[in-house]
């Protein structure tokens, strides 16, 4: 009876965690970040015209801002955009649903590795409310859906090693192939895992069975379209964009050490050349990758450091700190099993280590680790926590001691989790308005309501305002595709929207906008939406404020009012605008 009540309690708590995952999904976090706007509008554009915002018909990758994102997320949004309209909720639902579906897959994986329903329900509950998983599945992030399919593939790999049935690998390879359509980092990891399985099967059996060859062939057929996009010039653009900052940092490091080495040798030319052996780009790159790989399995990264502020709050790691000892126990168990005489145990332990390595590799190559880049590595870290849990409570023989320690761990976990949830909803998502463009809906709804009264609406220091406008207005995609004006592509491949219709993004100051108007003798009526400009705030005709209603985020002014205010402050267009002539 007690066991039944415990199971009911655990299932109830899991249902509560599911409710929380969807609670106020469209408004917590409040706002809309630029990638959500882009993916959402591409979904709307595909729904209405069969083309993305650039006019490309049914693409595999979205050109977007010149970063060539996988298009699968926009396709997943289409049913929700069709049923509830283009809004923040419809852009976040695919990720939220994927986050929900990962939970039974995780539970099935835990049951495959160690059969214990109550324990594994408890672990699933802890995972469902872990800070990183809760945060990422309440936003648009495409790796969440990629992780769903990857975890399904991994479950079938574990079942293959447990049951020695090759048909599991067929399903595993299909899911691995599908996972690659959602995120490039997962694409790389999936391919490397498949190659690893092929090599180990050949090593063990000195041959590869027909069923595994068939599974490999199906995988290759499914990923063939990705090969052309991944290794094309456009497909490699994103990797170049992500590595620019790291390459610059490496160059500074290399030059500084080479110079000091050369000077320390009294400017000996031969010694200077020898210094290049130890300090050069390949060595610096490998050092950075190695450091990043180690950091991604460190307790600091997994339990303390908030490496991605739009997913994790300050002083919050992906997992709560009470799980740290279990994580270390998990490493011990996995390495112990590598030398086990039971072949299925040693195969399961080895695949866990390999997937941790391969799951963290893309993030290490791309640059500094970020949550959305290595969702596989963070997911695998929880399997180590699970191994630690099973080991710890399997080691304790006294039933009362086991119950006492379990209650202590769960009490602390419950406190930390509830603290996180309250902090997430009451503080974190309201504390930094810039993370998710907190007031984007307010300012664009206002601009849309006023557009008939103005000839131009300027958004100062608001990148890609035309796309936000198109999203909030549900602007006809055929109009956007035809009328949008984009800046020239930057050297690193980025390109942004600067105008559609009356709406324009600008980096010009208020003085420069006023000069532009006066020098060209314009008679147009123009509206300027700008970040907080306290010196002329009394003239603002519209304001948005952060949650506490203390700080102004954006203000709207008629350009005529701005010009009048500048003239009252001594501004002389004939004198002050000469440099713009």
* Average confidence (pLDDT) over 385-390: 96
Characterize 131-140 residue by residue with b for buried, 16 or more Cβ atoms within 10 angstroms of its Cβ, and e for exposed: bbbbbbbbbb
Region of poorest pLDDT, from 2-16, 37-51, 244-258, 321-335:
244-258
Give the pairing type, strands 542-545 and 526-531: unpaired
Query: Which residues lie below 8 Å from residue 102, measured CB to CB, with a gap of 6+?
Result: 133, 144, 147, 148, 151
- How far apart, in Å, are the Cα atoms of 39 and each of 46, 182, 363, 395? 10, 12, 22, 49
Confidence band (pLDDT; 50, 70, 90) for 318?
Answer: very high
Name the one residue in this structure whose structure tokens are 């809004």: 87
Residue 579: pLDDT over 60: no
Q: In 3-state terms, the chain is what percent helix, strand and coil (to 5)?
A: 70, 5, 25
Name the one residue in this structure whose structure tokens are 């447990």: 162
- C-alpha 390/C-alpha 320 separation (Å) is 18
- How far apart, in Å, are the Cα atoms of 383 and each of 107, 171, 226, 272, 404? 11, 21, 29, 49, 24
- C-alpha 345/C-alpha 334 separation (Å) is 9
Three-state DSSP class for residue 439: coil
Residue 465: pLDDT over 80: yes
Confidence band (pLDDT; 50, 70, 90) for 399?
Answer: confident
CA dihedral sign of residues 257, 260, 264, 268: positive
User: 226 with 60: CB under 8 angstroms?
Assistant: yes
Characterize 522-538 residue by residue with b for buried, 16 or more Cβ atoms within 10 angstroms of its Cβ, and e for exposed: eeeebbbbbeebeebee
Name the one residue in this structure whose structure tokens are 């501004």: 571
Q: Is residue 29 reached through a cis peptide bond, with omega within 30 degrees of 0 on the bond before it?
A: yes
How many beta carbons lie within 10 A of that of residue 275, not counting itself?
20
Confidence band (pLDDT; 50, 70, 90) for 533?
Answer: low
Residue 115: pLDDT over 90: yes
Q: Which is more confidently placed, 255 or 555?
A: 555
Which pLDDT belongs to residue 470? 97
- C-alpha 513/C-alpha 563 separation (Å) is 9
Confidence band (pLDDT; 50, 70, 90) for 239?
Answer: low
Q: Which is more confidently placed, 109 or 538?
A: 109
Query: Which residues lie below 8 Å from residue 83, measured CB to CB, with a gap of 6+?
Result: 90
* Average confidence (pLDDT) over 380-409: 92
Query: Which residues lie below 8 Å from residue 291, measured CB to CB, with a gap of 6+?
Result: none
Which pLDDT belongs to residue 474? 97
- C-alpha 431/C-alpha 56 separation (Å) is 39
Characterize 505-519 residue by residue with b for buried, 16 or more Cβ atoms within 10 angstroms of its Cβ, and e for exposed: bbebebbebbbbbbe
Three-state DSSP class for residue 543: strand
How many beta carbons lie within 10 A of that of residue 429, not counting itself?
24
Region of poorest pLDDT, from 75-79, 235-239, 331-335:
235-239
How many residues are present in the chain? 581
CA dihedral sign of residues 84, 85, 89, 90: positive
Q: Name the average pLDDT for the chain.
A: 88
Give the pairing type, strands 485-486 and 497-500: antiparallel
Three-state DSSP class for residue 497: strand
| Residue range 59-106, pLDDT digits in tens | 999 999 998 999 999 999 999 999 999 999 999 999 999 999 999 999
Q: Which is more confidently placed, 190 or 402?
A: 190
CA dihedral sign of residues 507, 509, 515, 521: positive
Confidence band (pLDDT; 50, 70, 90) for 240?
Answer: low
User: 375 with 143: CB under 8 angstroms?
Assistant: yes
Backbone angles phi, psi at 66, to 5 degrees: 85, 10
DSSP 505: E
Which pLDDT belongs to residue 341? 63
Confidence band (pLDDT; 50, 70, 90) for 181?
Answer: very high
Closest alpha carbon to 44 in 467, 336, 474: 474
What are the E-state strand segments in 346-430? none
User: 385 with 322: CB under 8 angstroms?
Assistant: no
- C-alpha 317/C-alpha 306 separation (Å) is 5
Which pLDDT belongs to residue 46? 98
Query: Which residues lie below 8 Å from residue 274, measured CB to CB, with a gap of 6+?
Result: none
- C-alpha 18/C-alpha 8 separation (Å) is 15
Which pLDDT belongs to residue 257? 72
| Mean pLDDT comparison of 9-13, 14-18, 251-255, 310-314, highest-scoring range | 310-314
| Residue range 413-449, pLDDT digits in tens | 999 999 999 999 999 998 888 888 889 999 999 999 9
User: 530 with 558: CB under 8 angstroms?
Assistant: no
DSSP 568: H
Please state the pTM of the whole predicted model. 0.93
| Residue range 478-530, pLDDT digits in tens | 999 999 999 988 777 789 999 999 999 999 888 888 888 887 766 788 999 99
Q: For residue 115, what are its two tokens?
A: 């059969």
Task: Determine the number of helices (DSSP H) and then strands (DSSP E) in the chain.
Answer: 25, 9
Query: Which residues lie below 8 Å from residue 91, measured CB to CB, with a gap of 6+?
Result: 32, 36, 37, 39, 40, 43, 77, 80, 81, 140
- C-alpha 455/C-alpha 505 separation (Å) is 15
Strand partners, 554: 531, 544
Strand partners, 70: 61
Residue 406: pLDDT over 60: yes
| Percentage with pLDDT > 90 across the chain | 57
Residue 343: pLDDT over 70: no
- How far apart, in Å, are the Cα atoms of 429 and each of 301, 308, 309? 21, 14, 10
Q: For residue 394, what are its two tokens?
A: 């399997």
Q: Which is more confidently placed, 174 or 432?
A: 174
């Amino acid at each position: 009876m007690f066991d039944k009540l415990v199971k009911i309690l655990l299932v109830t708590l899991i249902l509560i965690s599911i409710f929380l995952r969807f609670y106020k999904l469209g408004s917590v976090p409040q706002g809309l970040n630029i990638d959500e706007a882009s993916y959402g509008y591409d979904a709307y554009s595909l729904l209405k015209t069969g083309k993305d915002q650039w006019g490309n018909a049914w693409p595999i990758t979205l050109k977007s801002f010149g970063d060539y994102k996988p298009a699968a997320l926009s396709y997943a949004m289409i049913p929700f955009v069709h049923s509830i309209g283009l809004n923040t909720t419809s852009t976040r639902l695919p990720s939220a649903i994927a986050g929900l579906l990962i939970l039974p897959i995780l539970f099935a994986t835990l049951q495959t590795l160690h059969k214990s329903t109550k324990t594994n329900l408890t672990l699933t509950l802890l995972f469902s409310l872990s800070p990183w998983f809760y945060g990422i599945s309440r936003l648009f992030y495409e790796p969440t859906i990629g992780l769903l399919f990857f975890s399904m593939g991994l479950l079938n790999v574990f079942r293959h090693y447990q049951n020695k049935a090759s048909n599991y690998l067929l399903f595993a390879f299909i899911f691995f192939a599908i996972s690659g359509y959602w995120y490039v980092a997962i694409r790389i990891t999936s391919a490397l895992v498949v190659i690893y399985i092929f090599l180990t099967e050949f090593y063990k059996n000195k041959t590869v069975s027909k069923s595994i060859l068939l599974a490999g062939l199906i995988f290759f057929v499914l990923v063939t379209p990705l090969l052309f996009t991944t290794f094309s010039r456009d497909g490699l653009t994103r990797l170049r964009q992500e590595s620019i900052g790291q390459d610059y940092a490496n160059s500074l490091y290399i030059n500084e050490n080479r110079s000091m080495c050369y000077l320390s040798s009294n400017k000996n030319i031969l010694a200077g050349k020898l210094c290049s052996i130890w300090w050069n780009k390949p060595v610096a790159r490998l050092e950075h990758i190695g450091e990043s790989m180690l950091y991604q399995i460190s307790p600091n990264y997994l339990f303390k450091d908030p490496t991605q502020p739009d997913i994790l709050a300050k002083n919050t790691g992906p997992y709560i700190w009470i799980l740290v000892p279990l994580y270390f126990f998990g490493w011990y168990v996995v390495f112990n099993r590598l030398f086990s005489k039971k072949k299925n145990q040693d195969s399961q332990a080895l695949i866990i280590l390999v997937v941790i390595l391969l799951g963290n590799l893309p993030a290490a190559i791309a640059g500094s680790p970020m949550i959305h880049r290595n969702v596989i590595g963070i997911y695998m870290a929880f399997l180590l926590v699970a191994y630690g849990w099973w080991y710890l409570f399997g080691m304790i023989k006294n039933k009362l001691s086991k119950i006492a320690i379990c209650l202590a761990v769960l009490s602390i976990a419950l406190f930390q989790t509830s603290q996180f949830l309250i902090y997430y909803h009451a503080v974190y998502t309201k504390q930094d308005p810039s993370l998710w463009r907190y007031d984007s809906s307010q300012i664009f709804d206002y601009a849309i309501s006023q557009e008939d009264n103005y000839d131009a609406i300027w958004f100062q220091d608001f990148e890609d305002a035309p796309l936000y406008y198109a999203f909030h207005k549900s602007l006809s995609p055929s109009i956007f595709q035809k009328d949008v004006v984009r800046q020239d592509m930057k050297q690193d491949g980025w390109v942004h929207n600067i105008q559609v219709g009356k709406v324009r993004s600008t980096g010009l100051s208020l003085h420069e906008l006023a000069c532009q108007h006066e020098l060209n003798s314009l008679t147009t009526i123009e509206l300027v939406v700008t970040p907080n400009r306290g010196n002329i705030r009394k003239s603002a005709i519209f304001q948005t404020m952060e949650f506490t209603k203390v700080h102004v985020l954006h203000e709207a002014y008629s350009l005529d009012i701005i010009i009048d205010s500048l003239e009252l402050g001594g501004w002389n267009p004939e004198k002050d605008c000469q440099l713009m002539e």
